[in-house]
Amino acid sequence: MNSQRKQAQFPKKDGYSRTRRINAAQPAIIAILKRVGLRVNVRGPFQLRLPKLVHCESTTESKVIDEVQFRKAADAAIEALKQELYAAEDGGDFEVEENAGALYVVFEEPAAKFVITPNAPVQQIWISALSTSFKLELSGGEFILPKTGENLSTLVKRLISDHLA
């Protein structure tokens, strides 16, 4: 089947031009990529050119911002949360630790660890707590859990209360 096999020209070597056929798997890959809407160019040896940025819309109406703006917003939100937790740490049954941009809330009784970390590629703050992952999105200048509408501070306070109850 000539339609499934494409020819690619390789540079001349030792004074002659060599032509090689792309193996059978590559046309299938090209067809799949085209089916999902990606532009595929085959030039010379098999080359795949993908778009530099693939933007997927979220179900919420969030606006995508650049990574620097996201990092500034996430760092400010986590810093504010850290200060609130440090103040509550004295009277609470937990410790707050910070490491490499992530915030950890560690409990001795019952033993557990909450992890609060920014995720720049998807522009969310993720919280791993109570065997669940919570993904907060930036909306109106603060990070909100779309399912409940809780902001970062309110959600973390509720999770700590649920754990200690």
The better pLDDT of the pair 55, 147 is held by: 147
Q: Which residue has the tokens 């630790």?
A: 97
High-pLDDT (> 90) share of the chain, %: 46
pLDDT averaged over every residue in the chain: 77
CA dihedral 141→143→149→153, nearest 10 degrees, is: -110
pLDDT digits (tens, 9 = 90+) for 32-82: 767 766 666 665 555 544 444 444 444 444 456 788 899 999 999 999 999
The full 3-state SS of 88-139, as one line of letters, equals: HHCCCCEEEEEECCEEEEEECCCCEEEEEEEEHHHCEEEEEECCEEEEEEEE
* pLDDT confidence of residue 38: 67
Amino acid identity, position 54: V
Domain with CATH 3.30.920.10 in the chain: 67-164
Give the mean model confidence (pLDDT) for residues 104-119. 93
* pLDDT confidence of residue 21: 42
* pLDDT confidence of residue 31: 72
* pLDDT confidence of residue 100: 87
> Which CATH architecture is the domain 67-164 placed in?
2-Layer Sandwich (3.30)
